[in-house]
A and B are shown apart, each in its own frame.
Chain A
Amino acid sequence: MNLAAAAPAAVLALVAAAVAPRTLTGLMAASAAVIAALRPAPEPSPGGLEVWTLVAALALGLAASAFEAAAEATALSSRIRAGWTAAVAGLVWVATLIAVDGGRVLRWRYGMGAGERRLELPGAALVLGLALLVTLAGSLATAAHGLARAPEGYRAGRIGQSLLVLGAGLGALGVAFAAGQAFSRSPEGLAAGARDLAAMLLAVGVLVWALVRLIVATGTGTGTVSVDAVLRSDRILRLAAAAAMLAAATAGAEGWRADGTYATATMAGSASAALLGLVAVQPTRLGLARTALFVLGLLAALSRAA
């Protein structure tokens, strides 16, 4: 088993199940589990298990939970914001599709691995390419609806929402199709593309979550923001920032012990994520965007280690 990926996945699952149960944290735990299950175990690190990844996974789980709670609160307070959340989630899904496999989806190609062992999946490429186009159109239509401040039920909003639902469905189908085809044809290729699959699973999961929030907000009308929920989300975010800072310190100590210096690339990556945590907890504007950046920073630091 790939212990370097399995241990953070277990921590994320623990956070999702017991500490701060939220959909996003569960999705991240599932994505990390996909990498742990599919990717071959790397050569064991001479310094043993890297503890900083566990602390960073704890920070990620808490930060994702805080982000979801904050987004939920703002989405319930305004249908327009729920629409914006869905549009951004759609763009995240589009960006993920552009990033995976070196952007080949843009040329209607998708595959796993490289060189002689590369596995081409033309069927999955078609489905993922369609998902990209449909989701992009849906995000733009939803964003246009938001910018126009049009009333609920306006055509652009309805079309955008429908396209986003279709994009999410096609995306889920494409991911399942790619995994199924790769599993039957080349388990080695599947292992090589595990990180891409995990990223797509996470992104399409985020889109589905945002769409559910949008539909709930549309159905229930203007809700009220629970002050307790906001305070709780703020506390969890502070704990996440503290854990991220501790993860950076741990990475530094591990680098000093193993390599003789704390100035390692791992330490730089985790310190960068910790700084984003410090940024996220500042009581000023664009809180949700700063929290999203913090989550992305932690994801980037952990994915480099996996």
Chain B
Amino acid sequence: MKLLAWRGLAAACGLLLGAALHPALPAMLHPPPVTIAALALLLVTSLLAAARDAAGRLVGTGALVVALALGYDGLRGHRGLLALEVGQGSQSFEEEGPEGRSLGLRPLGFGAFLEHVDADGTVALRVENGPTIAVRPGRAASYGGFRLGASRRAGSGEPAALRLAVAGPQGSSVVEVRSGTPVEADGLQIAVEQYFPDFALDAKQQPYSRSSEPRNPAALLRVRRGSESWRVFVIRAMPGIHRPAGLDRVLSLTDVVTTEAVSLRVSREPAAAAALAGMALTALGLAWGARPA
């Protein structure tokens, strides 16, 4: 009991806990959750054991409430991501563990469909047999015991399709080619071999993409007709720049068709209010202890 009431123990536990919780701590130095729980328990016990007055007891009680709430949320709460494209629905989300590692799919308990995404980033999510929820940037929404928030547009750089113009002796046509799915057009089979959203050449004249945004889209296509095969380079900024020998068609990249997709943060933290109230209680205890004797 004497050891628990020793202020040095509270100071040491608080110091270690503060370091363990800091977001700048490298992942390899992160202690396991059981160590953090043990430190928190020791800190709370020490604060309560060493409390000499009402202010001290208030600090200890507040710390106890915070520790219990965080522990409860750690055991019973869920956090993860829900990635959807416009028109797509899901009944589960990808749950994340304490270190951000995937824990697999967890049911939401309801079906959610992404209706549309507004220009300001507001996401309209329609619940199966339920209302439409608006998740605004900086303003999470609640439904079915979950908080849905921090919507952001998915920017993987992968387009839904490339829109190509194929010009030949019989006129021209427009086709949309999806990555991994060759299409037939004007007697040709066209497939996307490589896509560069923001095309550029490096010092060795090798192609690369400066960013994942489609600022200067270009692609390398595999074009087949019977036993013949060509590799055709197309870039939106310079239509028809590459005309391989033997190919009597001119291919141009006219546009990149993108899909509207968002990633929503899904959280269930039943003890959130208790955790924040516990912190406020601790703050009150500390401030009370500052009053003149």
Q: Which residues of A contact B (CB under 8 A)?
A: 45-48, 235-236, 238-239, 241-243, 245-246, 248-249, 252-253, 256-263, 265, 268-269, 271-279, 281-285, 290, 293, 297, 300, 304
Contact = CB atoms under 8 A, between A and B. Distances in A.
Contacts of B284: 242
B289 A238 contact: yes
B267 A252 contact: no
B61 to A, nearest CB: 13
Contacts of B47: 278
22 contacts: A45-B138, A46-B137, A47-B139, A246-B283, A252-B272, A256-B140, A259-B149, A259-B150, A260-B266, A261-B79, A261-B147, A262-B272, A263-B73, A263-B269, A271-B279, A272-B22, A275-B14, A275-B15, A278-B282, A282-B7, A290-B11, A293-B15
A45 B136 CA distance: 12
A238 B73 CA distance: 29
Contacts of B290: 235-236, 238-239, 242
Interface in B113-149: 121, 136-141, 146-149
A268 B286 contact: no
A278 B286 CA distance: 8
Contacts of A48: 138
B24 interface: yes
A261 B73 CA distance: 11
B185 interface: no
A288 to B, nearest CB: 13
Contact of A274 (B24, B146, B279, B292): B279
Interface string B90-109: 00000000000000000000
Contacts of A276: 14-15, 18
Given A241-B286, A260-B147, A265 B15 contact: no
Lowest 7 CB-CB distances: which A-B pairs, in order?
A: A46-B138, A260-B149, A260-B147, A260-B140, A47-B138, A238-B290, A46-B137
A285 B73 CA distance: 35
A297 B6 CA distance: 24
A257 B286 contact: no
Given A46-B121, A272-B18, A258 B275 contact: no
Given A256-B272, A268-B22, A279-B14, 15 more contacts: A245-B279, A249-B280, A249-B283, A257-B140, A259-B265, A260-B140, A260-B266, A272-B18, A272-B19, A272-B21, A275-B17, A275-B21, A276-B15, A281-B289, A282-B7
Contacts, number: 145
B10 interface: yes
A170 to B, nearest CB: 30
Nearest to A236: B290
Interface in B178-232: none
A69 to B, nearest CB: 14
Nearest to A59: B283
Given A239-B287, A272-B22, A275-B17, A282 B11 contact: yes
Given A249-B276, A282-B7, A259 B283 contact: no
B289 to A, nearest CB: 5
A278 B23 contact: no
Contacts of A277: 286
A262 B287 contact: no
B155 interface: no
A300 B21 CA distance: 13
Nearest to A47: B138
Most-contacted residue by chain A among B14, B137, B146, B280 (CB, 10 A): B14
Nearest to B52: A283
Contacts of B137: 46
B239 interface: no
A249 B137 CA distance: 21
B148 to A, nearest CB: 6
Interface in B1-58: 6-8, 10-11, 14-15, 17-19, 21-24, 47
Most-contacted residue by chain B among A242, A274, A297, A300 (CB, 10 A): A242
Contacts of A282: 7-8, 10-11, 14
Contact of B276 (A46, A242, A253, A258): A253
